[in-house]
Structure 1
Amino acid sequence: MARVGVDLAKRVFQVHAVDARGERVLARSFAPEKFFAWAAGLPAGCVVAMETCGGAHHVARQLQRLGLEARLVAGHFVAPYRLEGRGAKNDANDAKAICEAAGRPHMRFVPVKSMDQQAVLAVHRLRQGLVEERTACINRIRGLLTEFGLVFPQDPLHLRPSLAEITGERQAGQGLPDLLRLVLQRLHLQWLELEVHLAWCDERIAQHARQDAQARQALSVPGVGALTASAMAVGVVDFHQFRSAHQFGAWLGLVPKQDSSGGKARLGRITKAGDEYLRMLLIQGAKSVLMHAAARTDRTSRWVHALRERVGWQKALVALAHKNARILWALLTSGELYRAEHVSTPPHTSGSLQATSMPATAAA
């Protein structure tokens, strides 16, 4: 067996194995515990490929401990190799498609994350869920108050002091039912509890951003805070997997869609492909830079302020997020520090390694 494709599920692993010529050697299903016992008998260095899904990184780490070469393939790269088409999607055909995709010479694979990296990502996922719950809680409070004629601005800073006053003892018997006041008190306590949990997450993320070398390097870029730096370090893992800064920006979904043909380019909205969480963090960070760009004199602020005047807020915001993504790729692949006034040399004008290894630093 030279290459194995595995379709993962909770209770069954479907296997499709081929030899060096690509001929099928084995096609069968295993229970998870029996699969690892079977995999232990594979030759050292055998390629075992899986789709990226829940538990895939854990399985990949287990296979690496057995001396095998575990590879993770994004699901949208696998679908074109299912020759039977959408109407014949099953575990056996999926495993066959995974095996075929893993054998392509230009296939891009997802780096296997360590347990520590996934633990930090768990904090990010918890924080993201808590933010959504806090927003839902605040909206629930505002909706209930609106039913009684009390309308507040969307900014929580205006709602919180008023809510404490409405639910206070001195407001009893002054127009609002006592039962409503008790409901609002419960919701206020839930809001405060969510804030405590969010503060805990922010503390852990900030600690990781201080300790991780890649995150510390990313923190030097304007618009990249501890949250973004930490998420980039554990979400991307290896920036060298991207051949260029443009490919990294395309992976994040920050480049326009194309419908080009016959030499005529047609560009549309950004693709929004890739990691939605990382893209959102970059855009939020770019928003803070754009808001203060008029008062700053560095190259990036001058550029984005002029761009905003020319094309508007939204396009300038996405352009700055894309620029920051390219800068991050250049810094984290070269090991250099961010320099606000740096001007890079285009690769086609110089044959030096330095000029070709930093194509994105012109964004600085």
Structure 2
Amino acid sequence: MREIATVGLDLAKQVFQAHGADAQGQTLFNRKLRRSEVLSFFEKLPPCVVGMEACGSSYHWAREIGALGHEVKILPAQYVKPFVTRGKTDAADAVAISQAMKRPDIRSVPVKTAGQQAATMVLRTRTFFVRQRANAVNALRGFMAEFGLVANRGIANFGKLVAALPERGDASIPPAARLMLDEIVTEIEALTARIERIDDRIAAHAKQDEDIRRLMAIPGIGTLTASSIQAHVPDPGCFKSARHFSAWLGLTPRQNSSGDKQRSGGISRMGNADLRSLLYIGAMGVLNAARRYGTRSEWLRRLMDRRPLKVVAVALANKNARVVWALLTKGGSYHVPAELVEK
């Protein structure tokens, strides 16, 4: 039997599909595996390259299969899709993974450790609770508006919204409605307490981490943004340059060019949406401060004079992303540009 060079593994919950090929790409097998059979199957194989699509369980299987002596490559799903021929089947997906991982221009996703996954889970859990709290506040606002009780929008005005509620027993609100409003208020307070506990944990970790402290020196990057960058980008060196990093975040223009005609559209919004959002929010904070108090940055001042505010925010977020990449790959600390130093 010819030697197995690559195995494309289509992941699933219970039934997996494995496609094996030799060095020339000829199919050697394409078989189904039950979940309990996966590790024993790869344990019997000689060391080879195993490819799989990036998904929720890919890091777990990459660590388990890699521990058996195989080289594991995790490929972005959108890069595997073009190699799928005809209909959608597990067998076709496994073949597509085998073909895609042989392309040298397709970059694989770095395998995360269990600790790195736990760090991202902390941030995703916080995002989940924040989204739940926003839904609860919107529900409370909508129900109260039905009885003519309103307050300014935003979580910062939640106290004013609660203060607008009349005393219990007030005839203007039926008892059943008041009971439901109290339940929603209790849920919002519980979610707020959970978010604060997670924020305290993130802040405590940030104080002990040197990389996070260096990133926080950049204007527009706080504890949450720096912690998210460290969790989601464990190996910034996998990006060739700062532009590659900002393009991965979706902060560079979309290209629609042909021949000598160069057309650039809005930002691509590809990559990690959470990091892009945090960098944009931080940039908006810097711009709001610059509009209120002024700025000594000539670059920022000129950009604000000739471009819309949100476009400037994207440009500043792009610039901060490049600075982040430089600090994480080349070391050193952030220094305020000479033009911003107080004379």
Deviations 1:270-325 (A, max 9, x none): 111011111111111111111112435454xx422321221110100111111111
Secondary structure at the residue paired with 1:26? strand
Secondary structure at the residue paired with 1:127? helix
Q: CA deviation at 1:167?
A: 4.9
Secondary structure at the residue paired with 1:14? strand
| Equivalent residue runs for 1:149-228 within 5 Å | 149-164=148-163, 166-169=165-168, 172-228=169-225
- TM-score normalized by the length of structure 2: 0.93
| Equivalent residue runs for 1:50-65 within 5 Å | 50-65=52-67
The unaligned stretches of length 5 or more in structure 1 are: 344-364
Match of 1:330 among 326, 329, 338: 326
Q: Is 1:24 the counterpart of 2:42 in the alignment?
A: no
Deviations 1:45-95 (A, max 9, x none): x2111000120000001012112111100001111222x2xx412111111
Q: How far apart are the structure 2 equivalents of 1:168 and 1:118?
A: 47
Match of 1:305 among 296, 301, 305: 301
Q: Which residue of 2 aligns with 1:352?
A: none
Q: CA deviation at 1:210?
A: 2.8
Q: Which residue of 2 aligns with 1:111?
A: 110
Secondary structure at the residue paired with 1:261? coil
Deviations 1:23-59 (A, max 9, x none): 2112111112211101012223x21110001200000
Q: How far apart are the structure 2 equivalents of 1:212 and 1:14?
A: 41
Q: Is 1:252 the counterpart of 2:249 in the alignment?
A: yes
Match of 1:41 among 44, 48, 67: 44
Give the AA of the match of 1:227: L
Q: Is 1:6 the counterpart of 2:3 in the alignment?
A: no
Q: How far apart are the structure 2 equivalents of 1:27 and 1:173?
A: 71
Percent of pairs with identical residues: 40
**Shift in alpha-carbon separation, 1:213–1:96, aligned structure 2, 3 A:** farther
Secondary structure at the residue paired with 1:80? helix
C-alpha RMSD of matched pairs (Å): 1.7
Q: How far apart are the structure 1 equivalents of 2:188 and 2:151?
A: 16
| Equivalent residue runs for 1:279-298 within 5 Å | 279-294=276-291, 295=293, 297-298=295-296
Deviations 1:334-360 (A, max 9, x none): 0121112169xxxxxxxxxxxxxxxxx
Residues 7, 50 of structure 1: 8 Å contact kept? yes
**Shift in alpha-carbon separation, 1:61–1:296, aligned structure 2, 3 A:** farther
**Pairs aligned (count):** 335
- TM-score normalized by the length of structure 1: 0.87
Q: How far apart are the structure 2 equivalents of 1:332 and 1:60?
A: 25
Q: How far apart are the structure 2 equivalents of 1:157 and 1:219?
A: 24
Residues 10, 94 of structure 2: 8 Å contact kept? yes
Which stretch shifts more, 278-287 or 217-226? 217-226
The unaligned stretches of length 5 or more in structure 2 are: none
Residues 282, 324 of structure 1: 8 Å contact kept? yes
Q: How far apart are the structure 2 equivalents of 1:157 and 1:338?
A: 32
Q: Is 1:101 the counterpart of 2:96 in the alignment?
A: no
Q: CA deviation at 1:178?
A: 2.7
